Structure 1
């Protein structure tokens, strides 16, 4: 994949951030928190509410919060953050000092969370800024994650967490868990100066695992500042950028970011731009400008500088490629809609031929059937990837994805799985739905998720229904009226037909075979009563009619309701929506 006109905008983003109101509001709140409560006792945080301004929650760092708590602890050992876990990362680790400080103030934080969630439901919810310095920033990060879990982000503003000189809060698994929430990364801004040693304090003392960053980092130096979201580059800076004056810094005193922010607002960038004159590659020029701004390299380039620039170019190119892939996903979705539209046309054409699209495809006798096979493969690949993505997401994010895609998945499954079943049985397959069968996992999951959603909706409807109202029974009026163009509710219907045909073709029916055939007959009858199958199953050349014609040769009982239905014009009434 080729990315043209590459450019890293970290320098411009950095200058935008230092001139933004929320950053200065956050720092002012931290200074106020110290004045109101210098030792961060008895309250961990200070809430600042001003009319027509954001709500700012400033967390402090109680004295002695670090003693003997520099390591990472497993999420198995604490509660309240299970929602972050996913299939790929069922366990993560968090900084021990931060999580213990969080847990020791849990009751107060729960009241604060509930209050903010309730405020977010107002008609004009205010922006929430959550901030803190050093360990207070780590707690602010944890609280923001916890708050995000309780907010309906489709109806309220996302909170903004701004930390100053805060240590990295968790390990690589926590990083991956957070990044699975597609909109959460932009809620975190971490401001770090190369003169401030406190953010690196756990990097050197942590012996149980490596801490990893997430969110946007504003890296500052006397030369300027730049923003970066590249976790690899940020991690390197936490290890390599180290000023001599920072070594003796007392973390509990806090580094003063107020003056740095003011200096950066006034700083001219002309010297940096002079240093990159003659650079013909825009990405390389912008990277050098960023490195100069954050004090990582000097204006005298060296071999080390060249190596670092090459490494960052790889980082940036990787991120740009990922963004390109994300933008391509919308195009891919549109392509899938086109493929589904073609299958709809194919289905209508098959009905015109009095055979039904399942059996037409199974015969594979036309050029259009080959095209359908191509579309089927593309659709299956797309949905297999989509379902795998949902599986790997945290439960909260995955549930949101399911709501958006659930009914599209039902249409896909109803249209495409019969084609897959046709291929399976054409190749001599058996027992498609059993453990010994080969039903693809993503079909099963899409079906299970739909059933879960329908059960939730059914329960909700029952709870809101008035006692005097009679619950609806049987299929709805619209379902009866639209049955002519519907798909089978059970996407495995044709697999059941194939299994019933296999029983008849074997000959010499055993008692167990007859029982299975009767079960299939009952299944069909119940589906008809609920308008759960397409009337296309009654087309003359369909596999179902092939089964029925054989089953009707002395096997079906004379008292059969399905027999009466088939003999007395039931299929015509059914297609017209008049069968009751």
Structure 2
């Protein structure tokens, strides 16, 4: 039996409809919608109010100002959305946006794995949010809600602004304490257009913020699906007009607003539906769960977070991005009735839905009991999820959509579990290679008192022991390279590099084995033919492990290089009572080798300026190494009588006895 079949057989329940029912039964959606309608009626940027005795704050964002600012562009552009709804990079030209969303911009652990795609969001939403964020009222709100449970919410364009506000709040919270849990923040949007591209979705997953976003979408709402069309084909006046349609008629302005609403009313609804269905269907057909990070099709936009697919029958929650696309297509393509209603009605029905769904959950739950053989619980759950999202598998007209949606719900469950299963398998393999690590630890202990395992490995002491340790070194390197290959390919959880188990395991491996790689590099003379180990010989895995460790904020983290990180750690951490089991700077021996070469070069240097520069570098390394030794951040093998470090200290002390050297050192 293959893995996919085995995983499906192990799936006893489908919980999409259960989560949807739980959400619909709670007061969350109703309270969020009330705040949305209040914000839309008020028209300025946002409104807020406290619930549950002041422990929870609901902040509703209005999309009216965004619609008003886009109305003129929609008229001037003939209705196209190439400018209004074009994606713009967060880390690109706008420095303010880059600072506001810094963790998202920096969330990609390996630039090579992102195919160069920057994190980008919808231009209109970002423009309106930046303007809002600059207001004193919004800054005051951010200060007021710190430490409280917050629900950001918005309808239509207001939903995109609410999502950016939630992302900004999460970013500033994580920046103040990088490894603290995410603050109690939830963003609930109703009928919101897509906000960002695939890179944004990846970044949110890596930051573990996917569960902070809940997007409520009705079955036939065009707005959440419209940006699946290429930007130059998007009828911008539809999204703008839908937002302005929610604004009280007595407050609507004339001019561009009237033109947009009239154009929306005159739009061929069938043609609009076909346009959306064609492009959403194209994306749905092209996306493959085996490679979910591939962005194909004409639109750069992709969903993130949890989507709550609503119909009068209930709600189903889907959090796999690819399955979300499939379900958005399947629910939109199936008509629950010939009179599905106008696009305006489908976009403004959320207030009615949040009131009716709890009633349907109480009154329409039924058990289908007949003489047919009982179906598995999992299949029953899938059928209930389809019904809740508006697809009735018993209706012939829905047969194709129901079959496709059923397949994708099942496949998304497997796809959602597969990275975690891969991670679990790797954990088992990590346990199996523990003997390789233990052999190297034994080898290290063997030479700690004489010359240290670094020099013993470099000099090939005890050839049989060397051969065994070298083989284990290679096996461990192959394992970690395989881990990184799987991470690059999206086969592991997006937050894998932030999980303490793997960060700690990678760090221990690096501190134990990288000195052997440095020893091998210098034994073969690569430092002479290829250059310094740290700039030309270091494996990619070690650079990534440094980044993982620094992100964990266990080494002072802010410094860009290992030296500054180690000094920060040494200064801020509690002094050790005994020497570390492993030297805490993985490149320490490479620095020792460079210092020995620099010392040898300084002995024969005749140029005063060159000698002064070399002496200054040597003195800097002396200060650094002494601090490591004094704080016991080195292993005892560093201080072994015949270690390279001990030999360098002797060579350096002899050099300092020379008159011209002593004179120069007094100037520093």
5+ residue gaps, structure 2: 75-80, 233-297, 660-668
Give 1:262 shift: 3.0
- Partner in structure 2 of residue 5 of structure 1: 10
Deviations 1:14-65 (A, max 9, x none): 112212232232233334x1xxx66332443343455255211122332744
- Partner in structure 2 of residue 214 of structure 1: 304
2:456 is the counterpart of 1:360: yes
Give 1:423 shift: 2.5
Query: Conserved in 2, the CA contact under 8 Å of 1:72 and 1:93?
Result: no
- Partner in structure 1 of residue 411 of structure 2: 314
Q: 1:283 to 1:511 in 2, by over 3 A?
A: same
Selected match of 2:43 from 25, 32, 41: 41
2:79 is the counterpart of 1:54: no
2:209 is the counterpart of 1:189: no
Query: Conserved in 2, the CA contact under 8 Å of 1:430 and 1:499?
Result: no
Aligned to 1:295, what secondary structure does the other structure show?
coil
Deviations 1:217-259 (A, max 9, x none): 1112233321111212222333443356344416885643333
Alignment of 1:541-556 (within 5 A): 542=643
Selected match of 2:420 from 279, 301, 323: 323
In 1, distance between residues paired with 2:456 and 2:417? Answer: 45
Query: Conserved in 1, the CA contact under 8 Å of 2:48 and 2:57?
Result: no
Selected match of 1:262 from 358, 366, 370: 358
Selected match of 2:87 from 53, 73, 79: 73
Selected match of 1:91 from 112, 118, 125: 118
- Partner in structure 1 of residue 31 of structure 2: 25
Q: 1:427 to 1:495 in 2, by over 3 A?
A: farther
Query: Conserved in 1, the CA contact under 8 Å of 2:152 and 2:186?
Result: yes
Give 1:214 shift: 0.8
Deviations 1:116-137 (A, max 9, x none): 455434xxx3x21111222222
In 2, distance between residues paired with 1:539 and 1:234? Answer: 60
Query: Conserved in 2, the CA contact under 8 Å of 1:409 and 1:446?
Result: yes
Query: Conserved in 2, the CA contact under 8 Å of 1:164 and 1:257?
Result: no
Aligned to 1:151, what secondary structure does the other structure show?
helix
- Partner in structure 1 of residue 77 of structure 2: none
Q: 1:187 to 1:531 in 2, by over 3 A?
A: closer
Selected match of 1:180 from 185, 201, 206: 206
In 2, distance between residues paired with 1:445 and 1:120? Answer: 33
Aligned to 1:270, what secondary structure does the other structure show?
coil
2:171 is the counterpart of 1:149: yes
Alignment of 1:503-518 (within 5 A): none
- Partner in structure 2 of residue 568 of structure 1: none
In 1, distance between residues paired with 2:503 and 2:121? Answer: 34
5+ residue gaps, structure 1: 465-475, 562-580
Give 1:102 shift: 2.4
Q: 1:512 to 1:215 in 2, by over 3 A?
A: farther
- Partner in structure 2 of residue 115 of structure 1: 141
Aligned to 1:291, what secondary structure does the other structure show?
helix
- Partner in structure 1 of residue 657 of structure 2: 559
Query: Conserved in 1, the CA contact under 8 Å of 2:220 and 2:340?
Result: yes
In 2, distance between residues paired with 1:202 and 1:355? Answer: 65
Give 1:347 shift: 2.0
Give 1:163 shift: 1.5
- Partner in structure 2 of residue 133 of structure 1: 155
- Partner in structure 1 of residue 539 of structure 2: 440
Give 1:313 shift: 2.9
Query: Conserved in 2, the CA contact under 8 Å of 1:203 and 1:239?
Result: no
Q: How many aligned positions are there? A: 528
Query: Conserved in 2, the CA contact under 8 Å of 1:421 and 1:495?
Result: no
In 2, distance between residues paired with 1:205 and 1:544? Answer: 62
Query: Conserved in 2, the CA contact under 8 Å of 1:339 and 1:379?
Result: yes
Q: 1:197 to 1:306 in 2, by over 3 A?
A: closer
Give 1:178 shift: 1.9
In 2, distance between residues paired with 1:48 and 1:154? Answer: 25
- Partner in structure 2 of residue 293 of structure 1: 388
Deviations 1:351-381 (A, max 9, x none): 35x3422233342746655554455346546
In 1, distance between residues paired with 2:556 and 2:198? Answer: 35
Q: 1:405 to 1:456 in 2, by over 3 A?
A: farther
In 1, distance between residues paired with 2:124 and 2:188? Answer: 19
Say which is worse superposed, 443-452 or 82-91, in terms of deviation: 443-452
Q: 1:459 to 1:187 in 2, by over 3 A?
A: same
Deviations 1:180-237 (A, max 9, x none): 212x100111112214343334445843724211111111223332111121222233
Q: 1:257 to 1:430 in 2, by over 3 A?
A: same
TM-score (norm 2): 0.64
Aligned to 1:420, what secondary structure does the other structure show?
helix
Q: 1:338 to 1:278 in 2, by over 3 A?
A: farther
Give 1:447 shift: 6.1
Q: 1:81 to 1:385 in 2, by over 3 A?
A: farther
In 2, distance between residues paired with 1:141 and 1:230? Answer: 18
Which protein has the bigger helix share? 2
2:107 is the counterpart of 1:102: no
Query: Conserved in 2, the CA contact under 8 Å of 1:483 and 1:531?
Result: no
In 2, distance between residues paired with 1:458 and 1:521? Answer: 17
In 2, distance between residues paired with 1:275 and 1:97? Answer: 54
Deviations 1:157-182 (A, max 9, x none): 42111122222222223222322212
Query: Conserved in 1, the CA contact under 8 Å of 2:639 and 2:645?
Result: yes
In 2, distance between residues paired with 1:528 and 1:253? Answer: 67
Query: Conserved in 2, the CA contact under 8 Å of 1:291 and 1:297?
Result: yes
